[in-house]
Every structure is written in structure tokens, then in C-alpha cells.
Amino acid sequence: MEDRQLIKDCIRGELHAQKMMYELHAPAMMSVCLRYVANRETARDLLHDGFVKLFTKIHTYSGVGSFNNWLKSIFVTTALEYLRKNSVLKNNIDIEVIDDMPENVDVSVFEYLTTDDLMLCIARLPDNYRTVFNMHAIEGYTHVEIARKFGINENTSRTNYAKARKLLQKIVMEKVNSEEFKIEKNGYVRQ
């Protein structure tokens, strides 16, 4: 079924179209939800909340611009509303400053990390760091926009982002140095 027809059928409230829309987009939108909350059950709740919003607001889609981008914005907003309601960014978790990063890191090892590896590393970040990291590095929000959305200081957003990057570097290095990767003559090989 063509996207435009599917959208029209969803606007009319046709259940088969809503089911098809869910089946087409649920996996990608679940990934979006998991980027913001590490708990799978919470992410599933956000996924369902996002689809409820989608089906109640689909009539507002103007047809201008990518439907996928419009759809994704609903799920990002749903996740951010959840985080704002739970004051995730206002809870500042201190971590020790990570100054013990190796000086001469073999960056070629990073070529062997998959997207899933990186997403698992990001998921290990504390909620406030992960949220700011996702919003700034992945979604492209500015620190001013992040601060406005959460009612925090712009410097808090910048600090959380800097701490997230440092901690993420440490987490990635732990992954790279784990038993999962094995050094061979020609480089790193996944076990």
C-alpha cells in the first residue's frame, strides 16, 4: 500500500491501516525510544504512547516534508516528555573525571564496532547524559534548545554532553578491550 493511501486510511480511523502503520514503523520507533530510556519496558510504553499520539494527530500531517521525519519527531517528543516529567536532566549524577584515557589509542579498532555495539554503549550512560547526548549528537538539537525543553541552564546541557562524551569514550574502550575482541596480526577480529 502506498504511504499516502496508508496515511489517508489512518486518518479515517481504519484499523487495518493503523495495524499496517504500526507493523511498518514499530521496530524503528522502538529504537528511537530505546535511545532515550535504557529500560525495555519503559521504551515499550513510550512506543505505545507514541502510536496513540500518532493516530490522534495524523490528520495534522500536512504532507510537506518527510513523513518518516514527522513520525520520528512524535516519538522523540514522547520520550522527552517522559524524561521531563521524571526530571531526568535535573538529576545531576557526578562521575569521576576520566583523565586516564590511553594516549596512543589504536583507532582502527573502532571500525569493528557495529552500530548495535555503539547503541549498547550509549544505553549504559546515566539517563541525563544519555538524553543530552542523543538530543545533541544524534537528533541535532542545540544546547539552547535542550535547555529550553527541560528548563535547565544551557551550561548544564553542555556539561552533561561533555561528561557523556568522556564516559562514552571510557565505555567504548572497555568494550574494545573486552574478551569479545581479539588482536590478530591483521587487526581486531570479533570473537
Encode pLDDT of 163-182 as tens digits.
Answer: 999 999 888 888 877 766 65
Q: Supply the pTM of this predicted model.
A: 0.67
pLDDT (tens digit per residue) in 107-161: 566 677 787 888 888 889 998 899 999 989 988 889 999 988 888 889 999 999 9
Q: Report all structural domains of the chain as residue ranges with CATH numbers, in order of start.
A: 3-85 (1.10.1740.10), 107-190 (1.10.10.10)
For residues 129 and 122, the answer to whether their CB atoms sit within 8 Å is no
Mean pLDDT along residues 64-86: 89
Q: 63 in the Ramachandran plot: left (φ > 0), alpha (ψ -120 to 50) or beta?
A: left
What amino acid is encoded at 89 in this protein? L
Distance separating alpha carbons of residues 115 and 24, to the nearest angstrom:
21
For residue 188, what are the β-bridge partners? 183
Apex 126 CA angle, 123 and 128, nearest 5: 110
Q: What is the mean pLDDT of the chain?
A: 83
Model confidence at 95: pLDDT above 50: no
Closest CA to 158 of 170, 172, 146: 146
